[in-house]
Structures are given as structure tokens and as C-alpha cells.
Amino acid sequence: MIIAVITQINLVSVQLIYTTIGNCGTDVFFFGLAMHTCGQFEILRNDLTEFGMIGDGIQLRRSLHILIKRHKHLINLSQQLDDSFNGILLMQLFLSSLVIVVLGIQIIIGVKAGNTLVFLRLLFSFVVLMVQLFLYCYAGDYLSTSNEILVDSIYKCPWYNLTKNLEKDLLFMMMRARVKFYITAGKFYSMDIENFKNVFKASMSYISVLLVMLNLDE
């Protein structure tokens, strides 16, 4: 009997480890990559703000060439991040929506049955699910914003002291930074804070409708 219990505990432990690695591991890996890329954008913004303060024409031309190459590299890195994870994010979004539906029904049933422990467990699962989606949306929104605000950093540099050719290069860089970029789920649903709020509001509306329907059945 004791051996059977120990074996069952070991199996549950292994299951939890694999579930954590397969589920949370992907979330943490994506979030880490996105935050690293955002940090590189932050370094680029600081360098652009200080551009033009020191150096002659040739040095400034070389420095700007390096900054443009770094900007292009970061944009390509962000695009590769989206290409690598958009399928995973689509599946994550679909499964999260499905789990929210099931949890909504179970939460309402738990409330009706007066089972506080079951209700708290389901509520905690719902909160964890929302936090998981929030991390994806926050990372996508932050990455998109990091590229857009490069325009402000370029404008803050002493561009008025530069040559016309350098000013034109900076202008093209600003135009490229204004191009919208999003981390997407399946290349069609943007993972940003606005869409996270839409998912959260839809979930609350769904649970409210279920609660009203169950009250009408009484």
C-alpha cells in the first residue's frame, strides 16, 4: 500500500514537472527573448539620442551606418520572433479560450453548489490563465512600442547640426520606425494590451451571461 502511494506521488511529480516545462517553460522563454530584444531597442534609443554630439563628418557617417545596421538587425530579430511563435501563440490563445469556457461553467456550478474550496481553486486557475495571456500581450505590446518610440530618440539628437545627407538618413530611419510591428497569434491577431483587455472583458461577459442563465433556471 505504501509502495503504491509512493509510486503514485512520483508519477504525479513527474507529470507536474513535464507540464511546467512544456507550458510555463515556453512562456518564460518567449518573454525572456522579447524582453532581451526590448532591452536592445533601449540601448539603441540611448545611442540615437547622443548621436551627433561628438565626431566629424566621416565618424558620424560610420556611426550612423552602425546604428542603422543595428536597427535593421533588431527589426529582423523581432520578425523572426513572431515567425517562430505565432503558431504557438495561436494554439495558446485557442486553448486559453477553451479553458476559460470550461472554467466559467465550473465556477458557476461551484458557486451554486456552495463549494468554497472548488470555487477558489477554479478562480485561481482562471487568474493564472489571465496572467499567462497578459505576459504574452505585454511582451508583444512593449516590443511594438520600443520600435515606435525610436522616432522620439532620433528627434532628440542634434540633427540640426548635421549635414543634409545625414539628416535624410535619419529621416528614412524615422519612417522605418513608424512602420507598425506586432507579435501576432497566427499572423492575424495582435498580442497587445488592447486585445488582452478585449479577451478579459469577453471572459467576464461570458461568466456574467452564464450566471444570469443559471439564475433564470431557478
Domain extents for the chain?
31-216
Separation between Cα atoms, residue 137 and residue 141, nearest integer Å: 6
Give me Rg for the CA atoms of the chain. 24
Q: Which amino acid is at 179?
A: V
The answer on pLDDT for 114 being more than 80 is no
Question: What b/e sequence results for 147-170 when a residue is b if at least 16 CB atoms lie within 10 Å of its CB, and e otherwise?
Answer: beebbebbeebeeeebeeebeebb
Instruction: Please tell me the pTM assigned to this model.
Output: 0.81
Separation between Cα atoms, residue 93 and residue 68, nearest integer Å: 35
pLDDT of 1? 54
The answer on pLDDT for 5 being more than 50 is no
Question: What b/e sequence results for 112-133 when a residue is b if at least 16 CB atoms lie within 10 Å of its CB, and e otherwise?
Answer: eeeeeeebeebeebbeebbeeb
Containing 184, the helix (H) or strand (E) segment is strand 184-185
The answer on pLDDT for 163 being more than 50 is yes
Q: Which of 130, 109, 135 is nearest to 207 (CA)?
A: 109
Q: Which amino acid is at 3?
A: I
Q: Which amino acid is at 46?
A: N
CA 118 to each of CA 57, 64, 124, 129: distance values in angstroms, whole numbers, following the listed order: 70, 60, 10, 17
The answer on pLDDT for 92 being more than 70 is yes
The answer on pLDDT for 115 being more than 80 is no
The answer on pLDDT for 74 being more than 90 is yes
Mean pLDDT of 157-162: 86
